[in-house]
Amino acid sequence: QLQLQESGPGLVKPSETLSLTCTVSGDSINSDHYFWAWIRQPPGRGLEWIGSMYDSGTTYYSPSLKSRVSISVDTSKNQFSLNLSSVTVADTAVYFCARDVTRGGAFDVWGPGTMVSVSS
Amino acid sequence: NFMLTQPHSVSESPGKTVAISCTRSSGSIASNYVHWFQQRPGSSPTIVIFEDKQRPSGVPDRFSGSIDSSSNSASLSISGLKTEDEADYYCQSYDGSTLNWVFGGGTKLTVL
């Protein structure tokens, strides 16, 4: 059974870089050419797609975050990662990683999410 | 760019049927698949409908999806409402012009 787990610091200072890792278990991150995505949810608000990666390196990013985001993969550890630079308090959110089974936004498996606060 | 607009909240009684709308602001709703997610408080979202009307295994057939080109909207219908259906529901679709996956603002369903 496929499982995803986010990990990383729960507190980041303004202007610094937020770095999170998603560990995939129960299947290879290389299998079946799925997309792998990061999605976030500010407290009390809705979902926002951050970016997706497939084929171990091809990436799509949200236009509103594109200048600050990068997603990468470590196939040896079955992990993919998110870096978001120059963070502000507006980046405070629960960050989810997810699998996109149809490569069209059908996120069928999600991690439990990790809360990241941006504060000095 | 387009936006997906959902009602902020809906409420209905147990056993009844409710429909949650998702209206696309520009471009045809039929241009790209619509997916629907359920999010209970304190939990991750789960997919309940994908590709407009397909139901993942394990999702009850009380959940159904449709699109209506005349109103340029998608709809999630839940019949035989149960208290466990109380959750936030989000629609989502793909914006090919900006290579962006767009979520609706979410609808809070209350079953009372």
Give the torsion sign (CA, A24, A35, A110, A18): positive
Q: Which of B44, B99, B103 faces A110 most closely, judged by CB atoms?
A: B44
pLDDT computed for residue A45 by the predictor: 97
Q: Which of A47, A52, A104 faces B45 most closely, judged by CB atoms?
A: A47
Contacts of A69 in chain B (CB under 8 A): none
Q: Which of A60, A106, A111 faces B50 most closely, judged by CB atoms?
A: A106
Q: Is the pLDDT of residue A8 over 80?
A: yes
**What residues contact B1, with CB distance under 8 A and at least 6 apart?**
B26, B95, B97, B98, B100
Taking CB atoms and an 8 Å limit, are A52 and B103 in contact across chains?
no
Distances (CA, A) of A30 to A57, A69, A111, B11, B42: 10, 22, 18, 43, 30
pLDDT computed for residue B73 by the predictor: 98
Cα-trace Rg, chain B: 13
Distances (CA, A) of B54 to A61, B35, B48, B57: 26, 9, 8, 10
Q: Give A16's pLDDT tier (boundaries 50, 70, 90).
A: very high
Q: Is A91 helix (H, G, I), strand (E, B) or coil?
A: helix
pLDDT computed for residue A102 by the predictor: 86
pLDDT computed for residue B97 by the predictor: 86
B100, A49 in Cβ contact below 8 A?
Answer: yes
pLDDT tens digit string along B81-102? 999 999 999 999 999 888 899 9
* Rounded-to-integer distance, Cα B35 and Cα B32, Å: 10
Q: Is the pLDDT of residue A24 over 90?
A: yes
pLDDT computed for residue B103 by the predictor: 97
**What residues contact B52, with CB distance under 8 A and at least 6 apart?**
B33, B34, B65, B66, B67, B74
Closest Cα in chain A to B98: A63
Taking CB atoms and an 8 Å limit, are A102 and B51 in contact across chains?
yes
* Rounded-to-integer distance, Cα B27 and Cα B75, Å: 17
pLDDT computed for residue A58 by the predictor: 87
- Going residue by residue through chain B, which has 112 residues, state the pLDDT in tens, using 9 for 90 and above: 899 999 999 999 999 999 999 999 999 999 999 999 999 999 999 999 999 999 999 999 999 999 999 999 999 999 999 999 999 999 999 998 888 999 999 999 999 9
**Element (H or E) spanning A40, and its range?**
strand A35-41
**What residues contact B70, with CB distance under 8 A and at least 6 apart?**
none
Q: Give A107's pLDDT tier (boundaries 50, 70, 90).
A: very high
| Interface test mutation site (partner B, options A1, A110, A115, max chain B beta carbons within 10 A) | A110
pLDDT tens digit string along A30-86? 876 789 999 999 999 999 999 999 877 889 999 999 999 999 999 899 999 999 999
Taking CB atoms and an 8 Å limit, are A63 and B99 in contact across chains?
yes
* Rounded-to-integer distance, Cα B49 and Cα B36, Å: 5
- Written as six digits, the tokens of B6 are 């959902």
Count interface pairs A-B at CB distance under 8 A.
59
pLDDT computed for residue A18 by the predictor: 98
